Structure formats: structure tokens, C-alpha cells
Amino acid sequence: MAIELTDICKAYGTNIVLDKFSCQIEENAVTCIMGASGHGKTTLLRLMLGLEIADSGRISGMENRRKSVVFQEDRLCENLTAVSNIRLVCRKPIKTDDIIEAMSAVGIASDFAKHTVRSMSGGERRRIAVLRALMADYDILFMDEPFKGLDEEIKERVMLYTKEQSRGKTVLLVTHDKAECEIMGGELITV
């Protein structure tokens, strides 16, 4: 079932971020959300996640959907290892070897599995945040600028891995980069 957003309005004081915004998001497909800074991309995700309430309008199709998120910030548990951060969101038991294999797929050496994320670089932390969301049990994957801060070679590697791992799922990707939308094979929505 598609997700329907109908006449969504959201303001912060006198700053109107979304004004009667409507769209349909197809199930089991990638949808890329683009727009200028401050035009409501992140707000739109937060509304669909239930982290904020719309001033008016209706969102349907989110009922009983398991959600996974890559926020703009990594939101990792600093004192836990990379493996523990990923396991934290997994409902089913997951083998350490499977996590290490996923880390390797996005260019993180296996010896980092035992390191706390506090000791990792920004790019490594970002990739752990992406892996954590991908390895969770979800129907809808929300990604808010998930590839920012990655160099071009690693970025493409992470995008291709994300595309493969999320195949057959509903993915909402906020980005400022049209090339990301093209690589992910997403439909484009502009806010």
C-alpha cells in the first residue's frame, strides 16, 4: 500500500515549512526528496516517523509499518563497539561475522569491529549508522542525507550496497544531490 500525504501543513511559529503539501510514495521503491534548505525535507520525514505532528493534513499508509532511520546525525552509542551499535537495533540475533562482512562491504576493516565508535573517523561512523539502519528489521527505510561526509569512492560503494540491501523495501531518501537519486534509482519528489 502506498503512503499518501494529503494537504500537509507545518509551521514553526511564523515560519511556514510545508503548505498543503501532497504526494504519494510508492511501496517497495526508492523515493528521493529534494528541495532547498529549509523547505521541509527533514520535517516531512519527522512527520511520517511520528516524531512531529502536522498542523493539518493527513498521512496514511504508515500503519503497522516497521521503520528504520538514518538521521542527519549518526546517533550512535559512543561507548559501544561498531558491532554492538548495529546489534542494538536488530530484533533477531545476528552473527558477528555477518556484521563484519557488511562492514567490509562498505570499506571498514574487520579490526574496527571491536573498536568503540568514539575512536572511529566521521566517515566510518557514518557508514556504521547506515549499516545499523540497513540491518534492522524494517518495512520502510528513512534516510536523511545518509551519504554526506563520505568521499566519492566510498560514497558510491555505500550507495550501491544500500541499494542492494534495501531492494524490495520502501526507501525515502532526503538528498541535495541528484546523482544520489540516479544511483539509487529513485523517483524524485521536490518540496
At residue 73, the pLDDT reads: 94
At residue 139, the pLDDT reads: 95
* 150 three-state secondary structure: coil
In what order do the strands lie in the sheet containing 3-12?
Answer: 15-25, 3-12, 56-60
Taking residues 58-77, report their average pLDDT: 95
CA torsion 45-47-52-55 (nearest 10°) is 140
Domain range summary for the chain, segments of one domain joined by +: 78-135
At residue 90, the pLDDT reads: 87
- Kindly tell me if the per-residue pLDDT of 130 is higher than 90: yes
What are the pLDDT digits (tens) for 156-176?
Answer: 999 999 999 999 999 999 999
Backbone angles phi, psi at 68, to 5 degrees: -130, 150
The C-alpha atoms of residue 13 and residue 8 are separated, in whole angstroms, by: 16
- Kindly tell me if the per-residue pLDDT of 83 is higher than 90: yes
* 180 three-state secondary structure: helix
The pLDDT-based confidence of 92 (bands split at 50, 70, 90) is confident
Taking residues 137-166, report their average pLDDT: 96
Q: Which helix (H) or strand (E) holds 12?
A: strand 3-12
At residue 137, the pLDDT reads: 92
Neighbours of 47 (CB within 10 A): 22
Cα–Cα nearest to 132, from 103, 172, 152, 154: 103
